[in-house]
Amino acid sequence: MDILDKIRILSDSAKYDVSCSSSGSSRGSIKGGVGNAAAAGICHSFTADGRCISLLKILMTNFCIYDCAYCQNRISSDVERAAFAPEELITLTMSFYRRNYIEGLFLSSGVIVSPDHTMELMIRIIKTLRQRERFNGYIHVKVIPGASSHLVHEAGLYADRVSVNIELPEETNYKALTPEKNRLAILKPMKQIADNIMENKEEKRISRFAEDFVPAGQSTQLIIGATPTTDGKILSLSQNLYTGYHLKRVYYSAYIPVSTNKLLPQLTAPPLLREHRIYQADWLLRFYKFTAGELLREHENLDVNVDPKTQWALSHMELFPMEVNKVSYEMLLRIPGIGLTSAKRIIRARKLASLTYEGLKKMGIVLTRAKHFILINGKYHGNFAMRPEFIYEAISEKKDQIQLSLFEEIDHSLSSLNASSRDIILDRQNLSQILADQTIIRKSLGGDF
- Residues of this chain that interact with ligand SF4 (CB under 6 A) are 64, 66, 68, 71, 73-74, 110-111
Nearer to ligand SF4 by Cβ, of 71 and 139: the residue is: 71
Nearer to ligand SF4 by Cβ, of 6 and 74: the residue is: 74
Kind plus residue range of the DSSP H or E element containing 141: strand 138-142
Nearer to ligand SF4 by Cβ, of 143 and 313: the residue is: 143
H-state helical runs in 213-371 = 231-244, 272-287, 292-295, 308-314, 329-332, 340-349, 357-362, 367-370
Say how far apart CA 244 and CA 236 lie, in whole Å.
12
Q: Count Cβ atoms within 10 A of the Cβ of residue 381 and give its class: 0-12 exposed, 13-18 middle, 19 or more buried.
A: middle
**Closest separation between CB of residue 215 and ligand SF4, Å?**
26
Nearer to ligand SF4 by Cβ, of 13 and 218: the residue is: 13
Nearer to ligand SF4 by Cβ, of 166 and 335: the residue is: 166
The DSSP result for 267-283, as a single string, is -SS--HHHHHHHHHHHH
Q: Any bridge partners for residue 222, and if so which?
A: 167, 252
Nearer to ligand SF4 by Cβ, of 66 and 245: the residue is: 66
Nearer to ligand SF4 by Cβ, of 111 and 370: the residue is: 111
Say how far apart CA 283 and CA 158 lie, in whole Å.
29
CB 56 within 8 A of CB 101: yes
**Closest separation between CB of residue 220 and ligand SF4, Å?**
13
**Closest separation between CB of residue 166 and ligand SF4, Å?**
11
**Contact partners, residue 114, CB within 8 Å, separation at least 6:** 65, 146
**Closest separation between CB of residue 66 and ligand SF4, Å?**
4
**Closest separation between CB of residue 71 and ligand SF4, Å?**
3
Angle, helices 149-158 vs 115-131, to 10°: value is: 30
Say how far apart CA 89 and CA 123 lie, in whole Å.
12
Longest dimension (CA), the chain: 81
> At 8, which amino acid appears?
R
Q: What is the CA radius of gyration of the chain?
A: 26
**Closest separation between CB of residue 109 and ligand SF4, Å?**
7
Nearer to ligand SF4 by Cβ, of 71 and 385: the residue is: 71
Identify the CA nearest to 161 among candidates 348, 27, 333.
Answer: 27
Q: Look up residue 173 and give its DSSP letter.
A: G
Question: Cα–Cα–Cα angle for 206, 208, 213, nearest 5°?
Answer: 90
**Closest separation between CB of residue 303 and ligand SF4, Å?**
31
Nearer to ligand SF4 by Cβ, of 82 and 306: the residue is: 82
**Closest separation between CB of residue 213 and ligand SF4, Å?**
25
**Closest separation between CB of residue 64 and ligand SF4, Å?**
3
